[in-house]
Amino acid sequence: MAPSAVSTQMTADLTSAGIKKTLSETVSSTEAHPTLAELDASLLTYNYTTSPRTPPERGNEAASKHSICSDHMITAAWDHQTGWEAPELKPYGPLSLYPTASCLQYATECFEGLKLYRGYDGNIRLFRPDCNARRMLISSTRIALPGFNPDELLKLIVKLCAVDGAKWLPRDQPGRFIYIRPYMIGTDASLGVQKPRQALLNIILAYMPVMDANKGGLRLLASQDDMVRAWPGGFGFAKVGANYGPSLLAQGEARARGYDQVLWLLGQNGRIEVTEAGASNFFIVWRTKEGAIELVTAPIGNNIILDGVTRRSLLQMARERLEGGWEDIEKLTVVERTFEMKEIVEAVSEGRVVEAFTAGTAFFVAPVSAIHFKDQDLSIPMNQGDSGLYAGLLKGWLKGIMYGKEKHEWGLVVEEQSSEA
């Protein structure tokens, strides 16, 4: 196309145009590219392990230096000329990648994180896995990896859980969970800086330690000017590897100084905005100067922060059950807006902060007890001892759904099959 023929409109938004194009191709890919095979969970082949692994005892999930993974994984390869190959369930094990693979050089990689829960009713459940499957498509598109139908990814996740669930989350041990990591990498073995022409989708199940039980609450160290996690026009909203590796240096410094996580700030237009904490969303509950209680968190519209599934669920739950008041508990209002560090400083100094917490799949809902910002140690109340009142309520409601104590559309029961089938 001759550049002179390009309209203003077409050049206004490189990223959103690229995302729209990929998503529209994904939705109607058989029409647009009749020769490209779609990701199709019904084509899954089963190659069961002949060397079954031993699951760790309860409480020993993080005993190994390596993440302990289940017996099987699912892989599906993609090529730009043929599309998606039939997915395969096979024994968990290492991948073979050429040194020139795109993912090892140019960070063409994205992932999701969700959990499979062994419920008190004996069933295993996923929590809103459709949200993860859709977000994975947004992430893969942003990092120039192929599109797919999210419903098919969800079916593959369910099939892997169905095979390994019974053994790895024993039925007589309700309350346990295993972490599910679907991810995609560019495998194109070419050093050219370009959109990968080959990719691999892989789904694994791995144990993770329980991380929401920090008795003293999380201590956060606010980031400074030389360490910004995400920026306008960047990719903070996508679950791509490129959002995580660059954060580890500051995280390491924070830990060396006695803090648990970094509170990510973003300075722009003379403001210092609060965005996320560690790899989680950040929430604060405060009393306004007018005396009302607000649950405040950063908005997702500006593409800086991750559209967390736990975040979304907490907000919806809070709107449904807390905005009208719950039993004898004072009602609050949910507010999604950009907010500044100086608002927190002021609220702390005026005694208006009620509580704060982070939320994400890995750490679940973790109360915050302190924020260090510039030369100030800001103390955050945890009025229930190990949590704030509202965080405790919200966390309890979500756990109830996850572990089958409350029947709710967010909980998806997985039918278990034996891997010996």
**Residues near its own copies (CB under 8 A), total:** 106
d(CA 160, CA 92): 11
C-alpha 123: how far from chain center: 23
Q: Is 60 in the site for its own copies (CB under 8 A)?
A: no
- The amino acid occupying position 172 is D
Taking the complex as a whole, the smallest distance from the CB of residue 90 to its own copies amounts, in Å, to 12
Q: Is 421 in the site for its own copies (CB under 8 A)?
A: no
Q: Which is nearer to its own copies, 105 or 384 (CB)?
A: 105
Q: Is 210 in the site for its own copies (CB under 8 A)?
A: no
Q: Which is nearer to its own copies, 240 or 314 (CB)?
A: 240
d(CA 395, CA 389): 10
Q: Is 46 in the site for its own copies (CB under 8 A)?
A: no
Among the residues of 298-383, which ranges form H helices?
309-321, 341-349
By CB under 8 A, what part of segment 83-102 binds its own copies? 92, 94-100, 102
d(CA 358, CA 284): 9
By CB under 8 A, what part of segment 328-357 binds its own copies? none
Q: Give the closest residue to 419 by CA, choosing from 72, 112, 133.
A: 72
- Chosen residue from 56, 91, 174, 246 binding its own copies by CB under 8 A: 246
- Chosen residue from 186, 217, 381, 388 binding its own copies by CB under 8 A: 186
Q: Is 69 in the site for its own copies (CB under 8 A)?
A: yes
Taking the complex as a whole, the smallest distance from the CB of residue 375 to its own copies amounts, in Å, to 4
Taking the complex as a whole, the smallest distance from the CB of residue 221 to its own copies amounts, in Å, to 7
Q: Is 392 in the site for its own copies (CB under 8 A)?
A: no
- Chosen residue from 223, 281, 297, 387 binding its own copies by CB under 8 A: 223
Three-state SS letters, 332-373 = EEEEECCCEHHHHHHHHHCCCEEEEEEEECCCEEEEEEEEEE
Q: Is 259 in the site for its own copies (CB under 8 A)?
A: yes
Q: Which is nearer to its own copies, 103 or 296 (CB)?
A: 103
Q: Is 272 in the site for its own copies (CB under 8 A)?
A: no
Q: Is 51 in the site for its own copies (CB under 8 A)?
A: no
Q: Which is nearer to its own copies, 123 or 358 (CB)?
A: 358
Give 172's contacts (C-beta < 8 A, 6+ positions apart): none
100 three-state secondary structure: coil
- Chosen residue from 10, 27, 210, 213 binding its own copies by CB under 8 A: 10
- Backbone φ and ψ of 47, nearest 5°: -130, 90
Q: Which is nearer to its own copies, 159 or 239 (CB)?
A: 239
Give 347's contacts (C-beta < 8 A, 6+ positions apart): 284, 286, 287, 353
DSSP string, 251-277: HHHHHHTT-SEEEEEEEETTEEEEEEE
Burial level of 104, CB count in 10 A (0-12/13-18/19+)?
Answer: middle
Can you tell me which residue has the tokens 């006695």?
Answer: 258
Taking CB under 8 A as the binding criterion, the range among 67-75, 116-124, 282-290, 316-324 that sits at the site for its own copies is: 67-75
Can you tell me which residue has the tokens 């994180």?
Answer: 113
Taking CB under 8 A as the binding criterion, the range among 14-22, 53-61, 285-293, 333-341 that sits at the site for its own copies is: 14-22
d(CA 358, CA 80): 39
By CB under 8 A, what part of segment 101-160 binds its own copies? 102-109, 111, 141-144
- Backbone φ and ψ of 21, nearest 5°: -65, -45
- Chosen residue from 123, 251, 281, 297 binding its own copies by CB under 8 A: 251
